[in-house]
Structure 1
């Protein structure tokens, strides 16, 4: 009897011991995990502030998303911004008991054990809850675990247990709504697309709150295996997966069976747009803004040019936006990172104006300038460079272009010799090249591809509000993917006759009148031991006569500018140019009035805006404010102003520049583009037609355009096509047509230039060029 009781007692002890052993082991394991014996766990602070790489977004003033800076293309979306469709679809396919469990779904684990492991049903689904998946996304698995000698499977088991602990902690710290939105903000949707906001934009060009049931079902199906179920790479699998999600939505009562059957018959309709730095609006602007924001404090040893070092140092000291990320520190002591911190950068650009500007640049280059240049090139045997450029100079230019190419850098990095590299550049290979009719697959040598791209003329265009300094449109070239160099703020080119108004400004400032009569005769300058006599670009009917200053500027007559140059020394022109906003170096020589100095489009637009702003110069402004991911304002930016010239001088210059449009080199704005209302402006052309310029002014908008080759030796041979009135003016004309036609912008031909209350100078003088034959006007005046 005693033996029987003893056996029973031992049996019960062993029974309960065996039964309790897994529980004890689990308790010990979870305790050790919590104590971080098997590696670090997320702290309370980590759980309160989970980190993820959030893309910074750039917005226009009218709230158009222009683009992003990112390592992972992820943007933050709150629960309130989510469509119920994406919530229902995700819960149906991934975690139907999401609203009822506390982070771990033991019922789901039982299903996995029985159906998936025992019965081999792969469609039974996984046991991980959305909260566990979020834990894995936010705090990736680490299987190092204190160097313990355990198998890989054991490491994975421990990692899974750590996810369970983290999931429970997340459930304690966040609501279900918050966990759902956090999950949708972190989960990958394929490639560089992370988070529901980026996914909705990339695949359907919509926002998370506007996702339809079938769109939400497709995206919910993607999270399990983004590549396998990609609607781009694997459309059939994607369709099947989407329909499975729809079936589950019906099974769990989120939609009706009839609706589900109807939706399953619908094809997958994508509006797929790759979201990268080469695509979208304002690509050149976004890259320039990136460089400005992430700039570091200039170090003299890193600069080749003393002038560039001084310019950047001044920007660092006086421009709050320049180097903003490195000048400002976060609460944790680290600088801001535009690729990870989810900043919201609100620019001054207007989405519609930016679109109109890009359309104008591409339309003019592709439909007019490039066909004319190609035709001229074809007639001369496609030399690319002007025939007056020596052969050895052309070879040096091409070799330099070769050395600056990514291909050359890659081959050098891989240890190839100069001879091998040159052989590679002269070996035909398959490639895709840019054309205005679309990308073209072809076979050519890399050296020939350099020549191919050199043949395309480039452009830069910028428009700004002269009263606020807000830059409204910014186009640095014809296509950012293929022509990366920004011709608005990076490219400096000779400005030609567009500098002449600065000289005329001196005259107006000193009491001259637009009606002042001066002799239209050649002027000779003594330069050192020699003499120099500038000539006019074209004959006029008024050679040798007394003409007004207004007529001289309207027709860009060098005789008149040379006469003025004799009244004022070069240093005066340099000083007034800097007052108007030109920051580049200007050599104080007598030929300064011909525009031999190199300026940027941005500098010129800022300078001309001074005339429309009653003599007050405003530096162009690119950004109004920066917010963090939660909408808290981190910084605001304001314009810098200075009184450059008097209000009367500014108005007199407007009057002179109106003559350019109404009676001079800019007349085609009237007869070709039919632009109404007050318009002012100036054309400019440099030697050999290497640079074509046009600066345009309206009461509320000022713009500037430059067109030319990548190298100065690439240019039109003839003045008719190569002058600024033909190369650059049409961009302003086409842009302004679209702006005037859009009533939502509030800019049209009805505004007028504000006239000073007391104007002491006569401006109602006869325009002596009015009787020039219209035939000449139709071809454009020479400048």
Structure 2
């Protein structure tokens, strides 16, 4: 034996100890290899790795508008990595990348000597890019120091297996597509889009160096948070590139003089274009994936990297949101000024208490055993809070109750525009601010629709044979069998002597006539007509339905009105055109859903369009012509509900249907006056300003310059009558305009 030949007992003991350490080390490494400390992924598992990819949402014109993800990752192929990006990465992270087989023995020896013997903490970790990739693919579950050695050995084993399974190019591709850059952003493509608003393939050299520099410490070298640190790190990367002959000294010196320039575009689910639309798309996708699971297909919208192509028009939506912010800011100011110091959100105790008790904070406190008074007292505790409004953010000492009062006052809105023929949604605004008002006023809100329901009543009347030139008295009537209900108009007493044609009464939204048209038509016939036109919400079987007391969704109303420009057939608004997998293979195409049968005759359709053109030209929506000076072919209807709670405007054009609602989420608060809260003032401008902007873009000429079909001669002849007839002299003589007529409402004809 060799040991017996060694005379020194100390040397023999030292060698035995060293041999023992080596044996124990070998056995320890083998135990890790064999899985005694937790399974090590096999070569097969590593070679079949699939990314968790973000699902991407695109507009109809292929603009990326959003993503759904657990990890914000958008993998790209090696060919899209700029050469300088690879050079920067190798220079600073793994100089011998092309020379080792996953583990760099030279670096390990350096780290061992400096870290263990010399206690130099700046020596680094000695991990190769391949080892870092192993850690990216299988993150360490336990961060305790005691497990560090096991984790390192596992990563070395995985690195060796990765090198056996992939080429160097493939390892770089996997690494750059999986590595974390912080802020829940994974992979260089998502990071390039976030910090420089450009794709990886378009990064220049200094930008590549900034991103590579972040890998050392994703927070400490974040260029947005610590720009000075990031700049120093970038320059160190450039120096490493020069040291490795990827840059000349003069190139390096020139680049290090450049300032740090970002074009930061953080993806925030609450912000960005069309957040309410994206949320509705997400809900549709979840339903689709659940249905597909029943068919044996398991799609995860957060990890499978699907591509969702929607119907949304990017520029239309951008204009719509810009117009909304401008109009709603102005209207909010007028609204608050109209109430002055006696605003209900500050002085109406009943409304405030009800709103506070509806909050999750109050309900949680009560559920935890606090009395109503104790819960209220707790919510009155003041602290630093940020209040947001149209003028910006304000931080002040305030309580939860103060916050409730603040957000009670905000007017909100819901609007959408759809393709009149298919129902494809072109714009969708569910509210003024998704961050603070998650409730979607397009898809989730059923509100009374006011006078926008009247066209359905008049359509039903035409369908049962009432001619467009039939006249109805505008006089106010008290209906004995309806507990004295007496609908009225906003006009003067002289209306008691007037008789309106159907066209004139609809275009000027005469309430008394609408009820009489409903009576002549029959409530049942009106409800049947509404269903034929696509109304699926339950409607009240009451005469007040003529005035729009039925509660209908905004997107539902859009599909109903589409029948007037779609050959009498309603459509169902839809948001998604196509879903593909990450390789662009089509998984599903969504077809437009249109009614199979016409809801009314061609003659009725043409008459109704002419009536609603009059609404725009001379009726309640005439400010389209007078204030906004628009000469486009437009038909439409305004709507205002009781006590000015809801303002509506529906616009019909040859190509688009637009529906807009404005009001408050709290149903107990309305506009102070009809002049401020009527549909023509609160809702109509959102359409007018948007459509006028579209008219300035030649791209939309086929839409904004489209013309309605000319009605037939028969229809024009049918409508050729005086709009208003005045009662004769003797009838006026014996009629007291201050005295209401009384009668019973006939429910059936």
Does the pair score TM above 0.5? yes
Structure 1 pair 430–610 and aligned structure 2 pair: CA distance change class (3 A): same
CA apart distance, 1:191: 2.5
Aligned runs of 1:24-423 on 2, under 5 Å?
Answer: 31-44=30-43, 46-50=45-49, 53-115=52-114, 117-118=116-117, 124-141=123-140, 155-294=147-286, 323-329=287-293, 335-367=298-330, 369-378=331-340, 380-384=341-345, 394-408=348-362, 411=365, 417-423=371-377
Cα distance between partner residues in 1 of 2:579 and 2:662: 33
Cα distance between partner residues in 2 of 1:640 and 1:223: 49
Cα deviation code 1:489-547 (max 9, x no counterpart): 11111111000010111133345554x14133336475637454422222397653443
Cα distance between partner residues in 2 of 1:5 and 1:361: 89
Aligned runs of 1:347-746 on 2, under 5 Å?
Answer: 347-367=310-330, 369-378=331-340, 380-384=341-345, 394-408=348-362, 411=365, 417-514=371-468, 516-522=469-475, 524=477, 526=479, 528=481, 530-539=483-492, 544-642=497-595, 643=597, 644-746=599-701
Cα distance between partner residues in 1 of 2:27 and 2:280: 56
Tell me the C-alpha RMSD between the 2 structures: 3.3
CA apart distance, 1:427: 2.8
Structure 1 pair 38–245 and aligned structure 2 pair: CA distance change class (3 A): same
Query: What secondary structure sits across from 1:695 in the alignment?
Result: strand
CA apart distance, 1:274: 3.4
The TM-score normalised by the length of structure 1 is: 0.85
Cα distance between partner residues in 2 of 1:734 and 1:219: 42
Cα distance between partner residues in 2 of 1:24 and 1:524: 105
Cα distance between partner residues in 2 of 1:752 and 1:766: 25
Cα distance between partner residues in 1 of 2:715 and 2:626: 33
Cα distance between partner residues in 2 of 1:395 and 1:334: 54
CA apart distance, 1:190: 1.8
Cα deviation code 1:179-200 (max 9, x no counterpart): 2232222222222222222222
Work out whether residues 550 and 767 of structure 1, in 8 Å CA contact, stay in contact via their aligned partners in 2: no
Structure 1 pair 178–747 and aligned structure 2 pair: CA distance change class (3 A): farther
Cα distance between partner residues in 2 of 1:32 and 1:425: 58
Query: What secondary structure sits across from 1:434 in the alignment?
Result: strand
Query: What secondary structure sits across from 1:616 in the alignment?
Result: coil
CA apart distance, 1:697: 1.1
CA apart distance, 1:116: 5.1
- Structure 2 unaligned blocks of 5 or more: 726-749
Work out whether residues 360 and 731 of structure 1, in 8 Å CA contact, stay in contact via their aligned partners in 2: yes
Greater shift, 129-138 or 79-88, is seen at: 79-88
Structure 1 pair 19–334 and aligned structure 2 pair: CA distance change class (3 A): farther
- Structure 1 unaligned blocks of 5 or more: 145-151, 295-322, 386-390, 771-783
Query: What secondary structure sits across from 2:649 in the alignment?
Result: strand
Query: What secondary structure sits across from 2:35 in the alignment?
Result: coil
Residue equivalent to 1:317 = none
Residue equivalent to 1:774 = none
Cα distance between partner residues in 2 of 1:132 and 1:238: 25
Query: What secondary structure sits across from 1:433 in the alignment?
Result: strand
Cα deviation code 1:262-310 (max 9, x no counterpart): 221222222334322211011112223333433xxxxxxxxxxxxxxxx
Cα deviation code 1:350-379 (max 9, x no counterpart): 111111111121111102x1111111121x
Structure 1 pair 80–747 and aligned structure 2 pair: CA distance change class (3 A): farther
Residue equivalent to 1:314 = none
Structure 1 pair 117–595 and aligned structure 2 pair: CA distance change class (3 A): same
